[in-house]
Amino acid sequence: MTTKVNPVATTVPAQMIGKDIQLFTVDYINAVNGSAGPLGVQKAVLDSIMQTATIIAAGPLGNSNTEQTFITEGTDSVVVATLQADIRALGTHDSVDVSAATVTAKTLTIAV
């Protein structure tokens, strides 16, 4: 028989949905909605993220199609500075310049 052992306390702040998660926003700077195909810049960015992480959710494009928030599995699967450098290295991809893109870590806040 297996004995369940609970931690003394949870780590605060904690972000989880059954498992630990990480949230971050990519600001592409330029609109990327016109480059959504399999060879487009959106796919290239997804591939960059998935080099180190499993994407659980990708939010819609916001701020005139220049920003997108992602949720990945784990608490440190994405190093935002490294991802930002990877995205910027794409340069102009499918006619969209992402050489100045930024990646910002976010926290999950649920207002009550």
Distance CA 62, CA 19 (A): 27
pLDDT in the model for residue 110: 79
111 occurs within a structural domain: no
16 occurs within a structural domain: no
2 occurs within a structural domain: no
> How many domains does the chain fold into?
1
pLDDT beneath 70: ranges in the chain: 1-2, 4-14
Distance CA 52, CA 44 (A): 14
Distance CA 42, CA 40 (A): 6
101 occurs within a structural domain: yes
- Which CATH number belongs to the domain containing residue 69 in this structure? 3.30.70
pLDDT in the model for residue 16: 72
55 occurs within a structural domain: yes
Range of the domain at 62: 21-106
pLDDT in the model for residue 10: 61
Four-residue CA torsion sign, 58, 62, 67, 69:
negative
pLDDT in tens, 25-56: 999 999 999 999 999 999 999 999 999 999 99
102 occurs within a structural domain: yes
pTM over 0.95: no
Dihedral, CA of residue 81, residue 86, residue 87 and residue 89, to nearest 10 = 120
CA-wise closest residue to 99 among 79, 84, 80: 84
Q: Are 42 and 55 in contact (CB under 8 A)?
A: no
pLDDT in the model for residue 68: 97
45 occurs within a structural domain: yes
Distance CA 68, CA 63 (A): 9
40 occurs within a structural domain: yes
pLDDT in the model for residue 49: 97
